[in-house]
């Protein structure tokens, strides 16, 4: 199954990818919320300004996605991830020395954001896709489990009285520095150590790190209608997830529930993403990535209706659980789809360009929902608009599957029906 004369290193690569993903995403997104008041008091930042750092991280991640997609092939995944860890180390150390709000924004936008991009989802998913010709969904689902996103917000308030604000920032810098020796053990491809991807029937008839197929050029991807449909469906689904994270609490409180109850729903929705990442990764392996994404968006479209129906709090809890599961599992299913259809040689390019093209949706859908709420006085039209977006996403993934089955060859890489 694996080839070579040594124990298969795939599980080790999955473990390293999980550590890197957890540190990059968990420390950045998990720590920021508990530190908001500290940023406001230390740097005189308004609530509007203090919401910008994470937006800059999202922007940097999206804009750099196609660059990193090319970078991991030319510069290696290991070096890319180590550079990301180095940037995050210097970024948090620089935050501890910052004195103005503008310095904070510059550090997040120019250092921490690129660091997250280089140590986060794209290089880690690419690494796993190189090592697993089968079970990519399950493996990427494991990597994307948001354990640190849950644990860090609980740890930071306990550390603040002990270490202080600057001490917590330096601790965040230190954990990324400690990650560097772990990342040194990343092996980009199994062929480099005489092994082959899990589930591949026969060794590749090439030497060294070479592979028999070439990645699809990014410009050519733009001419593939199925790719653009996948981007559209992904953008609508992920953009809705951003809207939910921003507007769920005010939506629930406007319907008469307490702030504590609304916060509980948000916490439940985030926590169940751990199970969702594993579930939809498994479903993508069993059904194919397209089918898993269609099911994901169909379920989300249905349960989003609960947000505008007159229901009890228990039903809202069920809604939070289901939305959290679907939201947490989306990336694993999409990564499996890209691997299944476009091949592991084009994985980084496809995911990178897709990430760039979804940036306008990630930035625009939440403000658009807020505008609709202000225009109408409640969230019903905003929620209905997102439900329609899920319907469009379902149609996009279904049509993309039909196109890809009619044209199984997309250039040099071999693609297959999912």
Tens digit of each residue's pLDDT, the chain (418 residues): 444 446 888 899 999 999 998 899 888 877 877 787 788 888 887 766 776 787 788 888 888 888 888 778 778 899 999 999 999 999 999 999 998 989 999 999 999 999 999 998 889 888 988 888 878 788 888 888 877 777 777 788 888 889 988 999 999 999 999 999 999 999 988 888 888 888 776 544 444 444 445 677 778 888 889 899 999 999 999 888 877 776 777 788 787 877 777 767 777 777 788 888 889 988 988 888 889 999 999 999 999 998 888 888 888 889 889 988 998 889 889 988 888 888 877 888 888 888 889 888 877 787 788 888 888 888 889 899 999 999 999 999 999 988 877 765 444 443 443 3
CA distance 415 to 418: 9
Token look-up 């149609």 returns: 395
pLDDT tens profile 368-404: 888 888 888 888 898 999 999 999 999 999 999 888 7
Q: Do 93 and 138 sit in the same domain of this protein?
A: yes
In a domain, 311, yes or no: yes
- Residues forming beta bridges with residue 132, ordered by sequence position: 198
Structure tokens at 235: 């953008």
In a domain, 137, yes or no: yes
Decide if 332 contacts 280 (C-beta within 8 A): yes
CA distance 133 to 414: 12
- Give this prediction's pTM: 0.76
| Exposed e or buried b per residue across 346-379, where buried means at least 16 C-beta atoms within 10 angstroms of its C-beta | bbbbbbbbbbbbbbebbbebbebbbebbeeeeeb
Q: Do 234 and 177 sit in the same domain of this protein?
A: no
- Its domain, for residue 177, covers 10-188
Q: Do 237 and 381 sit in the same domain of this protein?
A: yes
For residue 307, give every residue at least 6 positions away whose Cβ sits within 8 Å of its Cβ, in sequence order, or none: 251, 319, 379, 383
Structure-derived torsion over alpha carbons of residues 119, 324, 158, 99, reported in degrees to the nearest 10 = 50
Closest CA to 318 of 330, 301, 306, 329: 306
CA distance 189 to 197: 8
Structure tokens at 109: 């936008």
The domain that holds 76 is classified in CATH as: 1.20.1250.20
Q: Do 176 and 223 sit in the same domain of this protein?
A: no
Token look-up 């469009």 returns: 392
In a domain, 383, yes or no: yes
């Amino acid at each position: 199954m694996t080839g070579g004369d040594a124990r298969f290193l795939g599980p080790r690569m999955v473990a390293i990818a999980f550590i890197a993903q957890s540190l990059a995403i968990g420390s950045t997104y998990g720590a920021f919320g508990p530190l908001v008041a500290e940023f406001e008091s230390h740097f005189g930042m308004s609530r509007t300004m203090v919401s910008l750092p994470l937006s800059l991280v999202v922007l940097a991640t999206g804009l750099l996605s196609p660059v990193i997609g090319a970078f991991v092939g030319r510069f290696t995944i290991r070096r890319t991830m180590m550079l990301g860890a180095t940037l995050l180390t210097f970024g948090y150390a620089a935050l501890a020395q910052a004195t103005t709000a503008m310095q904070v924004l510059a550090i997040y936008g120019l250092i921490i954001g690129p660091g997250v991009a280089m140590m986060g989802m794209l290089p880690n998913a690419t690494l796993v896709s190189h090592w697993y010709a089968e079970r990519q969904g399950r493996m990427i689902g494991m990597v994307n489990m948001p354990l640190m996103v849950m644990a860090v917000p609980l740890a930071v308030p306990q550390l603040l009285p002990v270490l202080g604000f600057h001490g917590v920032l330096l601790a965040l810098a230190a954990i990324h520095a400690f990650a560097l020796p772990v990342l040194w053990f990343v092996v980009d491809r199994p062929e480099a150590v005489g092994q082959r991807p899990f589930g591949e029937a026969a060794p590749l008839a090439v030497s060294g790190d070479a592979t028999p197929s070439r990645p699809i050029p990014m410009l050519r991807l733009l001419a593939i209608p199925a790719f653009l449909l996948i981007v559209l469906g992904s953008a609508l689904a992920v953009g809705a997830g951003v809207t939910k994270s921003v507007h769920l609490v005010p939506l629930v409180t406007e319907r008469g529930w307490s702030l504590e109850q609304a916060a509980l729903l948000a916490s439940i929705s985030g926590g169940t993403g751990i199970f969702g990442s594993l579930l939809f990764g498994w479903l993508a392996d069993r059904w194919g990535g397209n089918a898993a994404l269609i099911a994901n968006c169909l379920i989300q479209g249905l349960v989003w209706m609960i947000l505008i129906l007159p229901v009890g709090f228990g039903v809202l809890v069920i809604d939070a659980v289901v939305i959290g599961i679907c939201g947490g599992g989306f990336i694993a299913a999409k990564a499996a789809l890209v691997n299944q259809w476009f091949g592991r040689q084009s994985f980084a390019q496809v995911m990178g360009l897709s990430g760039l093209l979804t940036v306008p949706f990630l930035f625009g859908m939440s403000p658009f929902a807020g505008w609709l709420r202000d225009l109408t006085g409640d969230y019903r039209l905003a929620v209905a608009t997102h439900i329609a977006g899920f319907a469009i996403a379902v149609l996009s993934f279904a049509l993309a599957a039909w196109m890809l089955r009619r044209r199984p060859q997309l250039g040099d890489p071999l693609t297959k029906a999912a």
